[in-house]
Amino acid sequence: MKEQVSIGVFGGSGFYQFGEDVKEVRMDTPYGLPSSNIFISTIEGKKVAFLPRHGVAHIYPPQEINYRANVWAMKELGVKYLFGPCAVGSLQQKNKVGDIVFCDQFIDRTYGRKDTFYHGPTTTHISSAEPYCPSLREMAFKQADILELSYHKTGTVVVIQGPRFSSKAESQWYTREGWDIINMTQYPEAMLARELEMCYINISIITDYDCGIAQQVKHLPLADIMTTFNNNISNVKKLLYGIIKDLDIHSTCSCHCALENARF
């Protein structure tokens, strides 16, 4: 029998477990298998599905992740609210290692990824003007204030194909454009969630400076970086618990009717 689960969380690098007394569920989708089994737990009286997007043992690099299967599996479980934490590099000095960014925009520099569920015959042009859920973002700001986190309410993430990192010239170009952070997984994950009318929020954890500005900033010892990163994973988990506690799983949001004006 299928679980009815309203909340979903994708784990990123360094984030492979969430919730206690988890029940492991194997899912299959029309798009193939998700990155791993899904781990379902109860948090604040609500069912939460957790899926590490790189697989439990981090076996799928960003360009090999089956994003459609991951997002579809969440939808099939009943998920309406989806959280996409991820590790990112900073492109601007003001975005410091250890800060959290709730992205409001992305720049897609990936290629060849399967990035839609809609191949006709019904033509579907979903809006990506505001890719991230406004309601979940407000809830996240509130929790970040309560936890006194160092965070940024907005940010543009450049999503590169990987697995290679940027060249210095590429990285400096992104910085000059004013873009904030860099990552390899936010596209197409965020848009696939929108295509299935789920609320989706990004929670980016800055782990380092990208190569274009790395020489301009003071370097921290690796041990300090690792400590900061582990503290931040812990903070993100606390943030998620807080939002889940506040979340009314019967609430409605504009994300839930994203297809209304997408078909002609």
- CB 160 → Zn ion: shortest distance, Å? 26
Closer residue to Zn ion, CB minimum distance, 49 or 91: 49
108 annotated active-site:
no
- CB 7 → Zn ion: shortest distance, Å? 13
What phi and psi values does residue 155 have, to the nearest 5 degrees? Answer: 175, 145
Pick the catalytic residue: 208, 224, 246, 248?
Answer: 208
Pick the catalytic residue: 28, 108, 210, 248?
Answer: 210
H runs (alpha helix) in 123-262: 134-146, 168-177, 186-195, 222-246
- Interface residues with Zn ion (CB under 5 A) are 133, 135, 199, 253, 255
The token duo for 227 is: 């400590």
Instruction: Give the whole-angstrom CA distance, residue 125 versus residue 174.
Output: 27
Instruction: Give the whole-angstrom CA distance, residue 106 versus residue 124.
Output: 20
208 annotated active-site:
yes
Closer residue to Zn ion, CB minimum distance, 87 or 133: 133
Tell which residue, 126, 37, 120, has the closest CA to residue 73. 37
- CB 133 → Zn ion: shortest distance, Å? 3
- CB 188 → Zn ion: shortest distance, Å? 18
Task: Compute how many other C-beta atoms are within 10 angstroms of the C-beta atom of residue 17.
Answer: 14
Catalytic residues: 208, 210
